[in-house]
Amino acid sequence: MDVTATQPLQGNAAASTNSASNAVISSDFETFLKMLTTQMQNQDPLNPIESSDYAVQLATFSGVEQQVRTNQLLADLANQMGSSGLSQLAGWIGMEARAPVSAQFNGSALTVWPKHDSTADRAELVVRDSVGAEVARQPLALGTESLSWDGKGADGAILPAGRYRFEVQSFRDDAVLDTIPAEVYVPVIEARIEDGRSVLVVQGDQVIGTDEISALRDPAAG
């Protein structure tokens, strides 16, 4: 009687077989059992497969199947969290967010929320245009919570319409301690998830994280 010998699925052969059959095995445990049973039925009776080899194969399959299910579960949870986060952020669209970004100046005064170093003995508000050039500078009283910028440049003339960014330079004994971006209110245009992080797109196509926003308001309310 001819007997066809079938060796255990180990080493490179096992890897090749598993990679080709992974999709089926991981989704159908019965398929794996049938393959294992066929292997047992067709083994060489003069050189039977060790029971430990079967145990290794079973354990390997179980581990792979569990990992596949775990990965799928994590993916599902991530999708659910992302959808939930976007649902909450959707209510922010159309609102105005206060953050350290640039603001559009169209001739009307802009309200700025400055921050300075707590150890400073004086501070100055610096205004920069869309390319980063300094266009205005004025003294800032320490402890100022907010101020109105009238749009005047260094020469006292009203600056042209455009995007401007504000920052506060803190000094002590005439030495610069640090420079801190000031905050302004800007309209929220879009909310999205980027690399698992919730971000907002605000006026001027500026992308900021939700953790950078210090306040939110309804423009229609005031």
**What is the CATH classification number for the domain harbouring 180?**
2.60.40.4070
Q: Alpha-carbon distance 138 to 55, whole Å?
A: 78
Please indicate, yes or no, if residue 28 is contained in any of the structural domains: yes
Of all residues in the chain, the percent with pLDDT exceeding 70 is 67
Examine the domain organization and report whether 108 and 83 are in the same domain.
no
Examine the domain organization and report whether 24 and 107 are in the same domain.
no
Q: How confident is the model at residue 31 (pLDDT cuts 50, 70, 90)?
A: confident
Nearest of 186, 124, 127, 176 to residue 152 by alpha carbon: 127
pLDDT at 49 over 80: no
Please indicate, yes or no, if residue 190 is contained in any of the structural domains: yes
Residue 150 DSSP symbol? -
From 71, 89, 107, the end of a domain falls on 89
Q: Alpha-carbon distance 184 to 202, whole Å?
A: 11
Q: Alpha-carbon distance 211 to 205, whole Å?
A: 18
Examine the domain organization and report whether 70 and 114 are in the same domain.
no
For 86-97, what is the mean pLDDT? Answer: 81
pLDDT tens-digit profile of 173-190? 999 999 999 999 999 999
Residue-range definition of the domain harbouring residue 60: 11-89
Examine the domain organization and report whether 81 and 185 are in the same domain.
no
Any idea of the CA torsion for 122, 123, 124, 130, to the nearest 10 degrees?
Answer: 160
**What's the confidence (pLDDT) of residue 28?**
58
**What's the confidence (pLDDT) of residue 115?**
93
Q: How confident is the model at residue 10 (pLDDT cuts 50, 70, 90)?
A: very low
Examine the domain organization and report whether 117 and 61 are in the same domain.
no
Q: How confident is the model at residue 38 (pLDDT cuts 50, 70, 90)?
A: confident
Examine the domain organization and report whether 21 and 65 are in the same domain.
yes
From 39, 63, 89, the end of a domain falls on 89
HEC per residue, 32-89: HHHHHHHHHHCCCCCCCCCHHHHHHHHHHHHHHHHHHHHHHHHHHHHHHHHHHHHHHH
Examine the domain organization and report whether 118 and 148 are in the same domain.
yes
Please indicate, yes or no, if residue 202 is contained in any of the structural domains: yes
- Put residue 162 in one of left, alpha, beta given phi > 0 → left and psi -120 to 50 → alpha: left
Please indicate, yes or no, if residue 139 is contained in any of the structural domains: yes
Burial class of 14 by CB neighbour count within 10 A (0 to 12, 13 to 18, 19+): middle
Please indicate, yes or no, if residue 75 is contained in any of the structural domains: yes
Please indicate, yes or no, if residue 110 is contained in any of the structural domains: yes
**What's the confidence (pLDDT) of residue 196?**
77
Mean pLDDT over each residue of the chain, to the nearest integer = 79
Most confident of 59-63, 72-76, 86-90, 203-207: 203-207
What are phi and psi for residue 16, nearest 5 degrees?
-65, -45
pTM over 0.85: no
Count: domains in the chain = 2
